[in-house]
Amino acid sequence: MDLILAAVAAVPLLLLALAVALAVRLTSTGPALYWSDRVGRGGRIFRMPKFRTMKVGTPPVATHLMPDPHSALTPIGGFLRRTSLDEIPQLWSVVVGDMSFVGPRPALFNQDDLIALRRAAGIDVLRPGITGWAQINGRDELPIPVKVAFDREYLERRSPLFDLLIILKTAAKLLGDKTVTH
C-alpha cells in the first residue's frame, strides 16, 4: 500500500519538490536536502531526508529543545515547516522501506527519553510514519509521555481504515490549521 501511495503522490509532488528545492537553495547557503539520523523499526538508525529549514551548522536536536529555534530558521524555513512542505522528500524513505505513510513520527537519534518510552511501550515494532496519530493530535506540542500514549493507541487500533482516517485528518490540518509552529 505504501509503495502505491508513494508512486501516486510522487507524480504531482515532483514539480512542487523541485520548486521547494530551488527556493531553499536561492534563500540560504548549503544543500536543499538535510539528511537526519532517525530511529526506525526495532531501534535501527536510518537517514531521513527533509528539505533544509535550518541554517547550516544548527545542532541536530529536537526543535522544542533549542533555546531560540526561530533564530536558526532559514528565510523560508518557518513557511516550509508550517506547511509541512519540508517533509516531501520523506517519500524516498517510504519507497526504500524505512518509513510508512502512517506510524509514529521517527525520533531523532539523540531523543533518548522518547526512544526509551517507545521501546517500553512496544511501539518500536512499528515502522515510523510521515504522519501519525500523535502528529494530528498535537504534533511537537505534546509532552513526550502523551505522544507515546497516542503512539501506543495507534499500535492497538491500527488498520487500513484507521490509517485512512489519519491521512484525511492530516490533509485537513495541512489545509486549515494555522497553529502549526514547527
pLDDT digits (tens, 9 = 90+) for 109-123: 999 999 999 999 999
135: closest CA among 176, 91, 182?
Answer: 182
pLDDT the model gives residue 33: 97
pLDDT at residue 89 greater than cutoff 90: yes
Tens digit of pLDDT for each residue in 120-151? 999 999 999 999 999 999 877 899 999 999 99
- Residue 9's CB is within 10 A of a number of other CB atoms, namely 15
Domain ranges of the chain: 2-176
pLDDT the model gives residue 62: 80
Query: What single DSSP character describes residue 132?
Result: -
Residue carrying the nine cell digits 537553495: 25
Predicted TM-score (pTM) of this structure: 0.87
pLDDT at residue 78 greater than cutoff 70: yes
pLDDT the model gives residue 67: 83
**How many DSSP H helices and E strands does the chain contain?**
8, 5
What's the chain's Rg over C-alpha atoms? 16
Sign (positive/negative) of CA torsion 71, 61, 96, 159? negative
pLDDT at residue 65 greater than cutoff 80: no
* Average pLDDT of the segment spanning 20-31: 96
Cβ contact 107:114 at 8 Å: yes
Query: What single DSSP character describes residue 50?
Result: E
Inter-axis angle of helices 144-157 and 112-120, nearest 10: 40
Confidence category of residue 175, pLDDT binned at 50, 70, 90: confident
Of all residues in the chain, the percent with pLDDT exceeding 70 is: 97
Cell triple for 37: 539520523
Confidence category of residue 61, pLDDT binned at 50, 70, 90: confident
Lowest mean pLDDT among 3-7, 23-27, 117-121, 130-134: 3-7
Q: Give the residues across from 54 on adjacent strands.
A: 73
